[in-house]
Structure 1
Amino acid sequence: MDFRFTEDQLLLTESVRDYLAAIHGQEVLRRLDQGDKRDPAIWQGLVEMGLPGLLVPEEHGGLGLNLVDAAPIAAECGRCCLTEPLVDTAFVAVPWLLAKGEYSQMAAIAAGVVKYPLHHSINPWVADGSDGEALTSVDPLRLLVRGGGGDDPQLLNLAALMTAAQLVGIADAMLQQAVEYAKIRTQFGQPVGAFQAIKHQLANCAVAIEFAKPVVWRAAAAMQDGLASAPVHVSHAKVAATDAAMLTAETAIQVHGAMGYTYEVDLHFWMKRSWALAGAWGSRAFHLKRIDEAVLGSALQIGPQATFA
């Protein structure tokens, strides 16, 4: 069985990465943070790229792709610290509504007319919601209102999956920033990246990220195929991605000499986004409990004989 992404999937992901890098760089994050947090032109650009309609069926004006196609795109949204609610609307709300047989808003979502806030009891807030008391987030570019909602497990799993995908993209971006800084920051007459201790720390981050990625892609495939074990794979993905992002954030701060905490260093945008998403759609403890219950309760068979079952 070939688990690699297809050439078309890789090309789509690369195209989105290049586009987001061009329109949503570090200077844009600072402009948004000092202004209204949102820019309609950015959303319109995403619409013109066809991204809100990525999972919308073709007969409703979308591209008709699936969760495996969407997961690496969500990672790219994390990589650029995207402010617009593309992931929540296009990669969570759309498959959730489709699973319930609700098609009435598909065309509007694909056209970029509708942004769909997600309400769930696991979160005491709603991101990009229009009603409710405004809340302050650790991430200055997240717009939250007080809220909650039902307890639909499908919504929880889809949102946790795409949150994990964003976290690996965020971790990738933080690692890249740390590596670049280690090349130019000097100590004792040489770049700090030349010191073995720094190399080992950055290598540990790279290993954690690369180990988390296939776990996230596996969870996306399990959700797409409707496997009974999908919730456990999602929890595994959320834990692995959270751990990779937290380790990378801490390491990147240390490489920057703790300056990463400060507003003057761009790293803080990604660091704060990783903190915010780590607790979104289920904490690490919540997802570890789901994994423990599945494994210890024998609901999930483990071992080489069950790996590809």
Structure 2
Amino acid sequence: MDFRYTEDQLLLAEGVRDYLTGMHGPEVLRRLDEQGNRDPEIWQGLVDLGLPGLLVPEELGGMGLGLVDAIPIAIECGRACVSEPLVDTAFVAVPWLQRSGDNEALAAIAAGERKVSLPHAINPWVADGEGTPLQSVDPLRNLTTAPSASTGDPYLLDLGALMSAAQLVGVAEAMLALAVDYAKMRTQFGQPIGGFQAIKHQLASCSLAIEFARPVLARAAHALQEGAETASYHVSHAKIAATDAATLTAETAIQVFGAMGYTYEVDLHFWMKRSWALSGAWGSRGFHMKRIDDAVIGEAMPIGPEHTFA
């Protein structure tokens, strides 16, 4: 099966990237961090692009696209470290609300009138909610307690984990780009440190981990969109691969920047903190590894090329 994105999907993602590059750069992240985390103009810009309604059916004011179409956009949201709960609303809540048939909420989301973040037993908080405020490792996330987080709906869990994985890939790409740019500028012994073999190998390992996560993510999105019986296992695989790529890239970027990489003066910390937050959201690495282990040992997911590539 061909999991490559279509030209239309790539063009849409490119348009979103261009917009976010101009409207949501590091200087905006710093302003938001210092002035309350939210700017109504940012949300309105996302609404004007039609992103909240990307997966909402056309008859309710949306574009009627699917989960696979949403993945490149979620990656771009991670790359730009988008502060607004766009992914929570448009790519997690919308598919879940479609299953429950809440057309009123879907129409309001498509119109940009509502932001919806859904809690789960494994993720008992919501972004931009009205509960008791919580402190996040990521200063741009406004989290609150969720009064009704008892649901253990596996579909909601899979949606959240899949979209967290997509954002982690984008976050990793952004951290890698920052590290590469700095390695070209910082000099030691009369030459850029990026010229040293050890640095090259570390950055190459990050690039490889990110590229390995991409097809796993695409496979998981397709499986969940098509309702495959093994969708949950593919989602867990994607969350693990994306978490590992982001963790490795964060650690490597810190090494490239040196001790100053931890400081507020360096933009890296915004993406590094976002990677920490997303890595633990919608199931930790240990949780998803156990889910795969149980499936393989219990023979719910047979392994081997005759099954993997069936």
Shared fold per TM-score greater than 0.5: yes
1:93-134 deviations in Å (ceiling 9; x for gaps): 00011122222211110010010021111124222212x221
Amino acid at match of 2:189: F
| Residue 137 in structure 1 maps to residue 145 in structure 2 | no
Question: Which whole-Å CA distance do the structure 1 matches of 2:99 and 2:302 have between them?
Answer: 26
What residue in structure 1 maps to residue 28 of structure 2? Answer: 28
CA–CA separation in structure 2 for the residues paired with 1:119 and 1:12: 29
1:55 and 1:243 mapped to 2: Cα distance? 28
Q: Which residue of 2 aligns with 1:97?
A: 97
Give how far 1:23 is off: 0.5
Across the aligned residues of Structure 1 and Structure 2, the Cα RMSD in angstroms comes to: 0.9
Amino acid at match of 2:134: L
Shift of 1:228: 0.6
Displacement after TM superposition at 1:11 (Å): 0.6
CA deviation map 1:50-109 (0-9, x unaligned):
000000000000000000000110000000000000000000000011122222211110
Residue in 2 that maps onto 1:60? 60
Name the residue aligned to 1:213. Answer: 214
**Which segments of structure 1 move beyond 3 Å, counting only runs of 4 or more?**
none
Q: Distance in 1 between matches of 2:287 and 2:19?
A: 35
Aligned residues: 308
For the residue of structure 2 that corresponds to 1:93, the secondary structure is: helix
The aligned amino acid for 2:2 is D
Partners of 2:152 and 2:234 lie apart in 1 by 19
> Which ranges of structure 2 fall in alignment gaps of 5 or more residues?
none
SS in 1 for 2:51: coil
User: Structure 2 CA distance, aligned partners of 1:129 and 1:154?
Assistant: 21
Show the 5 A alignment for 1:115-130.
115-130=115-130
Q: Distance in 2 between matches of 1:140 and 1:260?
A: 17
Partner amino acid for 1:238?
K
Code of the residue aligned with 1:171 in structure 2: it is A
- TM-score normalised according to structure 2 size: 0.98
State how far apart, in whole Å, the 2-side matches of 1:191 and 1:109 are: 48
Q: Secondary structure at the match of 2:144?
A: strand
Instruction: Provide the C-alpha distance between the structure 2 equivalents of 1:186 and 1:60, rounded to a whole number of angstroms.
Output: 56
Unaligned stretches of 5+ in structure 1? none
**Residues in 1 aligned to 2:309 and 2:8: alpha-carbon distance in whole angstroms:** 24
Distance in 1 (CA, whole Å) between partners of 2:127 and 2:121 is 13
Q: 1:224, 1:23 → 2: CA distance?
A: 31
- Residue matched to 1:146: 145
Paired letter, 2:289: L
